[in-house]
């Protein structure tokens, strides 16, 4: 009887039922779409941040370089004593590793941070630039008058090339700059590699330099063997070449020094605590959390993020509230039109509870139909967002780690200027927005549909139960 009555009643009120269900569907569909878009945007943000700082990193610690920092490297001309000037025509070739733009932190700082409460892991890294200069000293630049005939006409021919080198902490492989990449060929470092002259090379750099697994190339004049090619997320700020940290420290003469420390907090809730603990422990260091980074990400990605989080959310809430209100009003008015019916049922001895469950059942059925339609609409909306959304671009502000790079004052001539672009300049990433509909969102939709039905039904039911049967029947006659 319950089902028969419910079905017949819904069929009688078909148009109204469809109207209510559509309202709810619209609200629920919008909620799903907005949540899908919002999670898509945060996925995109995650992609950007991971490509910048590696998966799992909650906090990065860097230090602004002080005068004279950045390693002891100086460009001297080998062969001559420091005071003498090279004669014109002297050919030279120098290959050095410099730590431009970032101040040095001690390895003991890494230990200090890792011993802090709420820190689950730390990894130090040394980001360096391999700078190679070669050429012949120009006659006019020599300043000497002893130029020989043939040598005097020599033109200056100084060639320079550079690539970025990151020394990675092999003991903490789960954290740090390499974690955002995937090894496409060869293999990653193993802990046995810590003092070996082996390198993992970025796929783009490997292509440009025609390097393969097993190839050899030189870092600061030392021959390294490529053991793996790593492909990192699009537009990543990754280095061209990764080598074991100990090797990088040795080649750059920066023993026990790092210039970026990657920190993972015990839980997301601890990030703020961890960041202030680090600031206390290392007062001179720049501590950057992933949310700092997220707020520094500008461009259409951040616009999309605020669109999804603010406008979208409130729009969905408003539409949903309107749908709930509409459903409630229409249910109450439907109950009011059935006053005689319910009065009769009460006269027949139907309990309030039975009448209430009948009304609730009807409202719930409408809610569930609306919910199902809403889920369909939501999937459609999410697909539409995915199809229509233009690729989003994100620009991370240069004030992150290495942000001071461009102003690396007082360093050796090559200091700041040669810091790798990704470390010192604004960095733009283009990502395609996806709008994944999570199961939890679908469940939320079902809950919303049920809630919508219950809200509408309880208004209607309250109206019906409050009705005295005598009044209900009196109204008829």
Partner 1 sequence: MYQLTGVTRDYQKGRHTVHALDGVDLVIEDGDWLAIQGPTGHGKSTLLQILGALDRPTSGTVLFDGQDLTRLRESQLTQVRATSIGFIFQSFNLIPTLSAQENVETALVPLRVASAERQERALRALTDLGLGDRARHLPSELSGGQQQRVAIARALVKQPTVLLADEPTGNLDEGTRDEIMTLLEQLWDQLRLTLVIVSHDSIVAGRAQRTGLMENGRLTIGTRSTHPIS
Which of 77, 92, 205, 350 touches partner 1 (CB under 8 A)? Answer: 350
Residue 40's Cβ-count burial label (10 Å; 0-12, 13-18, 19+) is: buried
Residue 339 is a binding residue for partner 1 (CB under 8 A): no
421 or 470: CB nearest partner 1: 470
Q: How many residues bind partner 1 (CB under 8 A)?
A: 27
| CB of 111 closer than 8 Å to CB of 249 | no
Q: Which is nearer to partner 1, 212 or 353 (CB)?
A: 353
Minimum CB separation from partner 1 for residue 457, in Å? 18
Which residue stretch of 217-225, 247-255, 341-349, 377-385 sits at the interface with partner 1 (rule: CB under 8 A)? 341-349
Is residue 475 a contact residue for partner 1 (CB under 8 A)? Answer: no
Tokens of 383: 């697909």
CA distance 30 to 381: 8
By beta-carbon proximity to partner 1, the closer residue of 209 and 341 is 341
Q: Is 333 in the site for partner 1 (CB under 8 A)?
A: no
Nearer to partner 1, 50 or 463 (CB): 463
- Single out the residue of 126, 168, 345, 394 in contact with partner 1 (rule: CB under 8 A): 345
- Residue 2 or 314: the one with the smaller Cβ distance to partner 1 is 2
Residue 118 or 341 with smaller CB distance to partner 1: 341
Q: Closest approach of Cβ 455 to partner 1, in Å? A: 24
Which one among 208, 268, 318, 470 touches partner 1, defined by CB under 8 A?
Answer: 470
Is 388 or 477 the residue whose CB approaches partner 1 more closely? 477
Report the site for partner 1 in 352-391 (rule: CB under 8 A): 352, 354
209 binds partner 1 (CB under 8 A): no
What is the DSSP secondary structure assignment for residue 195, as one 8-state letter? Answer: G
In the bound state with partner 1, the residue whose beta carbon lies nearer, of 346 and 463, is: 346
The residue range among 131-139, 212-220, 239-247, 338-346 that interacts with partner 1, by the rule CB under 8 A, is 338-346
Q: Return the closest-CA partner of residue 131 out of 418, 421, 423, 424.
A: 418
Return d(Cα 165, Cα 127) in angstroms, integer.
Answer: 6
The tokens for 184 are 């496409």
- The 1-20 contact track toward partner 1, x by CB under 8 A, reads x--xx--xx-xx--------
- Cα distance between residue 363 and residue 221, in whole Å: 78
Packing angle of the helix pair 439-466, 313-337 (nearest 10 deg) = 30
Among 269, 348, 387, 439, binds partner 1 (CB under 8 A): 348
In the complex, least distance from residue 367 CB atom to partner 1, rounded to whole angstroms: 20
In the complex, the smallest distance separating the C-beta of residue 49 from partner 1, rounded to whole angstroms, is 59
Residue with smaller CB distance to partner 1, 212 or 340: 340
Q: What share of the chain is helix, strand, coil (3-state, %, to 5)?
A: 50, 20, 30
Question: Please, which residue, 14 or 269, has the CB nearer to partner 1?
Answer: 14
469 binds partner 1, rule: CB under 8 A: yes
Stretch that binds partner 1, among 190-198, 284-292, 300-308, 349-357 (CB under 8 A): 349-357
Residue count of the chain, please give it.
Answer: 477
- Contact residue for partner 1 among 349, 387, 388, 466 (CB under 8 A): 349
The dihedral built from the CA positions of residue 99, 101, 102 and 104, taken in this order, carries a sign that is positive
Q: Is 351 in the site for partner 1 (CB under 8 A)?
A: yes
Long-range Cβ contact pairs of 307-315 (< 8 A, separation 24 or more) = 308/34, 308/37, 308/38, 308/40, 308/41, 309/38, 309/41, 312/33, 312/34, 312/37, 312/38, 313/34, 313/38, 315/30, 315/34
Q: Return the number of the residue (268 or 470) whose C-beta is nearest partner 1.
A: 470
**CA–CA separation, 254 and 383 (whole Å):** 52
CA dihedral of 331, 337, 343, 344, whole degrees rounded to 10: -110
Residues 247, 140: Cα–Cα separation, whole Å: 39
Which residue in 442, 404, 441 sits closest to 423, CA to CA?
404
- Contact set for partner 1, span 409-468 (CB under 8 A): 468
Query: Which of 50, 247, 346, 420 contacts partner 1 by CB under 8 A?
Result: 346
Least gap, CB of 476 to partner 1 (angstroms): 6
What is the rounded distance in angstroms from the CA atom of residue 432 to the CA atom of residue 148?
62
Cα-based angle 341, 342, 343 (whole degrees, multiple of 5): 90
**CB of residue 353 to partner 1, shortest distance in Å:** 9
**How far apart (Å, rounded) are the C-alpha atoms in residues 308 and 382?**
12
Count of C-beta atoms within a 10 Å radius of residue 342: 24
Does residue 476 belong to the site contacting partner 1 (CB under 8 A)? yes
The footprint of partner 1 (CB under 8 A) covers 1, 4-5, 8-9, 11-12, 340-341, 343-352, 354, 468-470, 473-474, 476-477
């Amino acid at each position: 009887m319950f089902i028969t009555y419910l079905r017949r009643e819904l069929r009688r009120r078909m148009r109204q039922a469809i109207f209510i269900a559509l309202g709810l569907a619209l609200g629920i569909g919008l909620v799903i779409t907005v949540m899908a878009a919002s999670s898509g945007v945060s996925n995109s943000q995650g992609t950007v941040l991971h490509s910048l700082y590696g998966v799992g990193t909650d906090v990065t610690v860097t230090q602004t370089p002080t005068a004279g920092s950045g390693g002891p490297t100086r460009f001297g001309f080998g062969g001559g004593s420091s005071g003498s000037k090279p004669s014109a025509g002297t050919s030279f070739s120098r290959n050095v590793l410099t730590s431009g733009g970032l101040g040095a932190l001690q390895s003991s700082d890494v230990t200090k941070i890792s011993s802090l409460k709420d820190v689950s892991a730390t990894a130090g890294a040394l980001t360096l630039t391999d700078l190679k200069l070669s050429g012949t000293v120009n006659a006019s630049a020599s300043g000497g008058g002893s130029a020989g005939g043939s040598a005097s006409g020599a033109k200056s021919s100084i060639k320079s090339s550079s690539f970025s080198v990151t020394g990675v902490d092999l003991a903490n492989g789960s954290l740090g700059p390499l974690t955002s990449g995937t090894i496409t060929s060869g293999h990653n470092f193993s802990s046995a590699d810590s003092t070996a002259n082996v390198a993992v090379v970025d796929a783009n750099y490997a292509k440009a330099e025609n390097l393969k697994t097993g190839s050899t190339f030189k870092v600061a004049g030392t021959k390294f063997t490529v053991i793996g090619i790593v492909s990192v997320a699009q537009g990543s700020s990754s280095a061209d070449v990764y080598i074991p940290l100990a090797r990088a420290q040795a080649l750059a003469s920066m023993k026990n020094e790092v210039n970026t420390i990657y920190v993972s907090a015990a839980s997301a809730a601890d990030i703020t605590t961890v960041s202030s603990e680090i600031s206390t422990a290392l007062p001179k260091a720049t501590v950057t959390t992933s949310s700092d980074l997220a707020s520094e990400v500008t461009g259409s990605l951040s616009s999309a993020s605020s669109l999804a989080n603010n406008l979208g959310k409130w729009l969905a809430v408003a539409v949903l509230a309107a749908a709930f209100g509409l459903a409630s009003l229409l249910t109450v008015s439907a109950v009011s039109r059935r006053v005689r019916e319910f009065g009769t049922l009460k006269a027949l001895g139907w309990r309030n509870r039975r009448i209430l469950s009948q009304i609730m059942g009807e409202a719930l059925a409408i809610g569930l139909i609306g919910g199902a339609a809403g889920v369909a609409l939501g999937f459609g909306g999410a697909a539409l967002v995915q199809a229509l959304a233009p690729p989003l671009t994100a620009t991370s502000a240069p004030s992150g780690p290495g942000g001071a790079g461009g102003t690396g004052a007082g360093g050796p001539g090559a200091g700041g200027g040669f810091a790798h672009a990704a470390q010192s300049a604004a960095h733009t990433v283009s990502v395609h927005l996806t709008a994944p509909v999570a199961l939890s969102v679908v469940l939320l939709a079902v809950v919303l549909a049920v809630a919508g039905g219950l809200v509408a039904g309880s208004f209607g039911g309250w109206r019906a139960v409050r009705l005295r049967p005598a009044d209900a029947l009196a109204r008829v006659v």
